[in-house]
Amino acid sequence: MNPAPIRVVIAKPGLDGHDRGAKVVARALRDAGMEVIYTGLRQTPQQIAAAVVQEDARVLGMSILSGAHNQIFPEVLRLLKEQGADDVLVFAGGIIPDADVPGLKAQGIREIFQPGTNTDDIVAFIQREVRD
């Protein structure tokens, strides 16, 4: 019996209008056998947390280019915790300055992937971190 595929929500929070990177990651995860739900552009923290809970996702990936990561990511984490989904593996990508990475990780973002990351590395990260 095959185990159920890992369910992943890929979200684009904030006012970003560019989602090519998120779509590339979503496709790579799907091609690796994961079940991927892409929320689309301009999602609020509330919409993202609701999608994770509604879809019973084990993983959340957020991609941000706008520079609002220090405001949006902590809010998403707070909402996930509030809704009992603080066991979801959360990773992020996009334009995130190196100086902001330690603070985001301390708040619960498990990994941050910068532009140019090989999608195989993201797949391997999720497979390694999500174990039944």
| Rounded-to-10 torsion of CA 105, 108, 111, 114 | -60
One digit per residue, pLDDT tens: the chain, 132 residues? 668 999 999 999 988 788 999 999 999 999 999 999 999 999 999 999 999 999 999 999 999 998 999 999 999 999 999 999 999 999 999 999 999 999 999 999 999 999 999 999 999 999 999 975
Q: How far is CA 126 from CA 15, 16, 28, 42, 112, in A?
A: 26, 24, 12, 24, 12
Structure confidence at residue 88 (pLDDT): 98
Q: What are phi and psi of 47, to 5 degrees?
A: -65, -40
pTM of the model: 0.96
